[in-house]
Amino acid sequence: MKKHESYKIKNLVLVLSLMLISLSGCDSDWIDSDLNIDPDSPGDVPMALILPAVQQSMGYVLAGNDNTRTNNIWTQHFDGVSRQSFTEARYQLTSADVGNIWDATYTDILMNLDRLVEKSKNEGFESPHFTGVAQVMQATTLGITTDLFGDIPFSNALGGGQGNLKPAYDTQEQVYDTIFELLDDAVVNLAATANVLPVKGDVIYGGSLTKWTKAAYSIKARHYLQLSNVLGNEAYTKALAAVENGFASNADNYFVPFEDANRNPIFQFMEQRGDIRMGATFVNLLLATDDPRLPFYVAENADGEFLGSVSGSENASASLPGPYAADPTSPVYLMTYAELKFIEAEAHLALGSPALATEAFQEAVAASVLMVTGDANTAWLDANINGGTVTLEEIITQKYISGFATNQPYSDFRRTGFPNLPLAQGAVLSQIPVRFPYPQSELDYNTENVPAARQLTDNLWWDQ
């Protein structure tokens, strides 16, 4: 799947051949069997070390930097004002630009999760709880990745096709089926009572099986809702069924923590490059209602203003990201209780229960405000949120605000058309992109399997 893998195999064959030639002409009894063991690269890594490493990779790769930064530029939470970010603001994202995302998703996350599942099922070393945690993480990773790229390799790329450098692609419909299967299996495994080892090394939930089970149901609700244009009312009904067993409060939020010794990826990006500013569409929505989340999401600029950059305008005097997403210790959110309540609100509204939709909507905004600000802000909620019957546009617009610095607003925008985003200044396309391109390594080395839909304007399966 990646070109460097083929080089590794060629080099390995060469090394083995040289070893055989060398050893065939001498007595090998004197050779120390530990001589070529690298103590810094252990051959067998325990599950308690694999797990936190993968979780940190998820925080960096899936939701912490490249993925989210790019699609948040397109959703106008951010604006790219320099270098690559500026070209992305005008909808130029090439196959060369996504290679790091793709490679890290497979090598750092999916392959290691596959290894974790394999280790958790070894005879005499069974741990269904580790399996269940890994399956929730697999489903999370597949969901975010397929919602960005569409069809992707999976069933033939990892355990099922180990050593296959040219894996076939699963259709997005197949990937979604896999997501739901993984989550169903995860719930069963997390509830297992036999052959149980405690889950250690978990930096997300500290080994809490209850919270991982809630995360499984919550991710399921996300992706059933995502199929609303494919399944219609069935999607809403299944989403609501999953909501019942999902997150119950902000205490259940699914996030990767960061600290001074391991700093938040957006903070690192701003410290090293600083090529983005806050987007005008997002900032103006917050300003319109004096939203209490504003100073947490957005930093004041040099003039003491909360100023957004119009998409594509290259306004370097606009505000930088605020502490919520860009402090050294800011967590990276994979899914929140607020998102789940927005899902509930949309599903109830679609199924003809506006009162239930309005109640869930109000709870969603309240959860978001409390999570971001640490204060209930009841007066602001009463003045701006707690009144009247909610509409779909209001649900998605508030979900867009709550989902800042995550991937979900991009999926919701493509699915619903809300919020109504203007085209970027100087845009090279006639519409906002609806997908990421496939990486150059796939185009070069797996050409026969890369799907025909490769343009930024080619809709995904669930977006037809």
Label residue 30 by pLDDT band (50, 70, 90): very low
* Whether 98 and 179 share a structural domain: yes
CATH assignment at residue 47:
1.25.40.390
How does the average pLDDT of the chain come out, rounded? 90
**21 has a pLDDT exceeding 80:** no
**227 has a pLDDT exceeding 60:** yes
User: Does residue 8 lie in a domain region?
Assistant: no
**Residue that is last in its domain, among 368, 402, 436:** 402
pLDDT of residue 20: 32
* Whether 127 and 228 share a structural domain: yes
User: Does residue 208 lie in a domain region?
Assistant: yes
pLDDT of residue 121: 84
User: Does residue 266 lie in a domain region?
Assistant: no
Q: What percent of the chain has pLDDT over 90?
A: 83
User: Does residue 430 lie in a domain region?
Assistant: no
Sign of the dihedral through C-alpha 311, 314, 315, 318: positive
pLDDT of residue 23: 36
User: 78-80 and 332-335: which strand pairing?
Assistant: unpaired
352-364 tens-digit pLDDT: 999 999 999 999 9
DSSP-derived secondary structure letter, 321: B
402-433 tens-digit pLDDT: 999 999 999 999 999 999 999 999 999 999 99
User: 276-278 and 78-80: which strand pairing?
Assistant: antiparallel
Give, to the nearest 10 degrees, the angle between helix 111-120 and helix 128-149.
160
Among the listed residues 187, 102, 178, the one whose alpha carbon sits nearest the alpha carbon of residue 450: 102
User: Strand pairing partners for 451?
Assistant: none
* Whether 160 and 293 share a structural domain: no
Place of tokens 């939470």: 77
Q: What percent of the chain has pLDDT over 70?
A: 89
* Whether 73 and 166 share a structural domain: yes
**40 has a pLDDT exceeding 80:** no
Q: What mean pLDDT comes out for the span 439-450?
A: 96
Q: What mean pLDDT comes out for the span 266-279?
A: 95
Task: Quote the domain boundaries for residue 291.
Answer: 277-326
User: Does residue 18 lie in a domain region?
Assistant: no
pLDDT of residue 300: 98
pLDDT of residue 282: 98
**137 has a pLDDT exceeding 80:** yes
**Residue that is last in its domain, among 402, 419, 452:** 402
79-98 tens-digit pLDDT: 999 999 999 999 999 999 99
Torsion angle, CA of 259/265/270/274, rounded to 10 degrees?
A: 180
- Three-class secondary structure of residue 188 per DSSP: helix
pLDDT of residue 292: 98
Place of tokens 């999902």: 246
* Whether 63 and 105 share a structural domain: yes
Q: What mean pLDDT comes out for the span 363-369?
A: 98
pLDDT of residue 126: 75
* Whether 231 and 312 share a structural domain: no
Cα 230 to Cα 192: distance, rounded to the nearest angstrom: 34
226: tokens are 């995502």
Number of domains in the chain: 3
**38 has a pLDDT exceeding 80:** no
DSSP-derived secondary structure letter, 438: P
* Whether 241 and 288 share a structural domain: no
- The CA-atom distances, in angstroms, between 69 and each of 148, 250, 285, 431 are 13, 24, 19, 19
CA angle 138, 142, 148 (to 5 degrees): 155
Give strand ranges (E) for 139-273.
Answer: 254-256
Q: What mean pLDDT comes out for the span 286-308?
A: 98
Cα 76 to Cα 71: distance, rounded to the nearest angstrom: 8
**243 near 221, Cβ under 8 Å?**
yes
* Whether 162 and 291 share a structural domain: no
* Whether 243 and 288 share a structural domain: no
Among the listed residues 231, 225, 176, the one whose alpha carbon sits nearest the alpha carbon of residue 343: 225
**Residue that is last in its domain, among 385, 402, 419:** 402
Among the listed residues 232, 125, 223, the one whose alpha carbon sits nearest the alpha carbon of residue 182: 223
Cα 335 → chain centroid: 9
**45 near 51, Cβ under 8 Å?**
no
Give strand ranges (E) for 184-340.
Answer: 254-256, 276-278, 332-335
**26 has a pLDDT exceeding 50:** no
* Whether 66 and 185 share a structural domain: yes
pLDDT of residue 32: 42
**331 near 254, Cβ under 8 Å?**
no
**351 has a pLDDT exceeding 80:** yes
**8 has a pLDDT exceeding 80:** no
User: Does residue 448 lie in a domain region?
Assistant: no
168-197 tens-digit pLDDT: 999 999 999 999 999 999 999 999 987 677
Q: Say how many CA atoms lie within 13 Å of 121 toward its Cβ.
A: 12
Label residue 13 by pLDDT band (50, 70, 90): very low
Contacts of 198 (CB under 8 A, 6+ apart): 129, 207
Numbers of helices and strands, H then E, in the chain: 21, 4
Cα 39 to Cα 244: distance, rounded to the nearest angstrom: 48
Give the helix ranges, DSSP H, for 249-315.
265-272, 280-288, 294-297
* Whether 205 and 318 share a structural domain: no
User: Does residue 94 lie in a domain region?
Assistant: yes
Among the listed residues 97, 95, 102, the one whose alpha carbon sits nearest the alpha carbon of residue 84: 97
CA angle 279, 345, 415 (to 5 degrees): 50
Label residue 29 by pLDDT band (50, 70, 90): very low
* Whether 252 and 288 share a structural domain: no
Cα 55 → chain centroid: 11
User: Does residue 37 lie in a domain region?
Assistant: no
Place of tokens 């940190």: 56
Q: Which of these ranges, 250-254, 267-271, 371-375, has the smallest mean pLDDT? A: 267-271
